[in-house]
Structure 1
Amino acid sequence: MTRENRALGAFYGLALGDALGMPTQSLSREQVQKSFGAITTLEDAGADQPIAPNMPAGSITDDTEQAILVGQLLVEGQGGIEPTVLAQRLIEWEAVMRAKGSQDLLGPSTKRAIDMILAGHTPEESGRYGTTNGAAMRITPVGIAADVSDTARFIQAVIQACQVTHNTSLGVSSAAAVAAVVSAGINGVDLGEALNIGTQVAQQAESHGHWIAGGRISTRISWARTLSVGSGDKTLFADLLYELIGTSVASQESVVVSFALAQQVASGDLDAFEALCLAASLGGDTDTIAAILGAMLGACLGMQCWPEALIKQVKQVNGLDLQPLVHGLLTLR
């Protein structure tokens, strides 16, 4: 596999996971089971979908759109992101979504940070309450553009991309964990070792940003990777993730669940697409969990781990061509 194959696998894996989780996002596990049973392919959103009502199967959400936004800023800035420019682009993105009548708007941490920026606060201060998964969901381009082999420089690249909205120990470390797995995968590291690197980088990144009380990301990832039902029962394992770790927008839940599912793939208990479908079936913040998982798996396993027909569908439904952006990000690397 080439670096381009792995990078495309990461970005299209993010988009595929996002689209699989689109119709189930913000639904309880019971609601998902009642409406869909289990997600096994791309599905239309129902009229009662709270965020994306009646969206056609294969539609992406804010996860992919904001990752593209960050990627474009990286390429435009030759590897750098000006925090105030990121804030302005996010404001513009939300305005476009509102104009379309979408309920897919800025998350709670990002919204609060943008309001602080507009009120005159510095980027260092604006992200001081950001503990949710918004930074982690859009960090994949940093993993493609920056090499985790230089850890200190890599963490600074992560901070630059998430400081304005998630400048906390939890926000920075969760984003660093995801980006590190993506970056390690693009370097040719296998999935199990990439997850180790992600855990280690998360631990090193915890000293950055404003300290926030909460379970440490690296410790929770290490623990979650040991979880297994031992019986091969996917439903039982999904129940365990939903009830024990949780699937909310909190980074200590959704990002950690993504790592637990990735470990199941590394251990051979699930294949990559099965893991994405399981993520989309969990309930809670399914689109983000599946998007983060898809990025990590795709970086390590390449484009060939995703069903070609479903990738084609996601491209067509959204008018998506990520190859030029991925090429630009790899040029930065």
Structure 2
Amino acid sequence: MSRGVPPEEAGKSGATNGAAMRITPVGVAFPDTPLEPFLDRVAEACQVTHDTSIGIASASAVAAAVSRGIDGGDLEDAVGAAITAAEAGAERGHWVAGADIAARIGWAVDLVRGLPERQALDRVCDLVGTSVASQESVPAAFAVLALAEGEPWRACLLAANLGGDCDTIGAIAGAIAGAVSGASALPDDALATLRSVNDLDLEPLAKALLALRADTAA
């Protein structure tokens, strides 16, 4: 854009996981139903960097899962909302070649179901993939989320042990698990460490996003 490229053209090749990684505030601020207006918000947030079918599908999945959790949905509800949103989100933006995000989320979740933790993580690394490609790291985050059974701290720890783009996978899985389980599910000592080390005051921002959500729903 600094070179004069219009916003609708700037992100026409972005298919990595950056939009999915940063989309959580949209999921907090807006309800995922009705779906099309919600996807308008997601696509708007993706436009400058990830205005592609894969970029928007990935971000739609994460935002919808977070939003469903904010509304009181459980883990199954959140994953279902993610798949539905990814299917619809893939119809937006510039088409780029790549595996179907919605299908890969469902496949990745099924892939780790009922497995011991170490075997499940090996499957995520070896079969799902943990690179910056959306079609790897976003389904991987949902697999981790399922393996952690929606527990946010466990989801973050499992993601951290994957390797690859583990910070993004942890950010996505942790955000969805946090939305589903609530802040009370996080260990007090971990929260205290995060606050002291990062010097971030996120509570006012979270309250502002929730206020925006309330205004939208009114």
Note whether the superposition's TM-score is higher than 0.5: yes
Distance 1:314 1:273 in 2: 12
Q: Describe the superposition over 1:112-140 as per-residue Cα deviations: whole angstroms up to 9, x where unpaired.
A: xxxxx122111111100100010011100
Q: Secondary structure at the match of 1:316?
A: helix
Identify which of 100, 120, 127 aligns with 1:244: 127
Is 1:227 matched with 2:111? yes
**Relative to structure 1, is the Cα distance of residues 229 and 236 closer, same or farther in structure 2, using a 3 angstrom cutoff?**
farther
Cα distance in structure 2, aligned partners of 1:216 and 1:170 = 8
SS of aligned partner of 1:227: helix
Which of the two has greater helix per residue? 2
Report the Cα distance in structure 1 between the residues aligned to 2:113 and 2:50, rounded to whole angstroms.
34
- What secondary structure does 1:118 align onto? coil
**1:86-165 paired onto structure 2 within 5 Å:** 117-165=1-49
Residue 34 of structure 2 aligns with an amino acid whose one-letter code is D
The answer to whether 1:284 aligns with 2:164 is: yes
Q: Which residue of 1 aligns with 2:178?
A: 298
Normalization by structure 2: what TM-score? 0.94
Which deviations, in whole Å up to 9, do the C-alpha atoms of 1:205-227 show, x marking residues without a partner? 11000000000100111111111
After TM superposition, what 4+ stretches of structure 1 lie above 6 angstroms from structure 2?
none
Matched, 1:170 2:69: no
Q: Which of 175, 180, 197 lines up with 2:64 in the alignment? A: 180
Give the counterpart letter for 2:146 in structure 1: Q
Taking the aligned partners of 1:261 and 1:196, their CA distance within structure 2 comes to 16
Q: Distance in 2 between matches of 1:322 and 1:298?
A: 14
Choose between structure 1 and 2 for higher RCO, CA contacts under 8 A separated by at least 6 residues: 1
Instruction: Kindly name which structure, 1 or 2, has the bigger radius of gyration based on alpha carbons.
Output: 1
Evaluate the alpha carbon distance shift between residue 164 and residue 306 of structure 1 in structure 2; reply closer, same or farther with a 3 A threshold: same
Q: Which runs of 5+ in 1 are unaligned?
A: 1-116
User: 1:231: Cα distance to partner?
Assistant: 4.2
Q: What amino acid maps onto 1:245 in structure 2?
A: V
> How far does residue 275 in structure 1 lie from its aligned partner after superposition?
2.5
Between the two proteins, what is the percent identity of the paired residues? 47
Is 1:263 matched with 2:143? no
* Partner residue, 1:323: 203
CA distance in 2, matches of 1:275, 1:179: 17
Per-residue CA deviations over 1:156-176 (Å, capped at 9, x if unaligned) read 000111110000000001001
State the one-letter code of the partner of 1:331: A
For residues 56-79 of structure 1, the C-alpha deviation after alignment (integer angstroms, 9 at most, x for no partner) is: xxxxxxxxxxxxxxxxxxxxxxxx
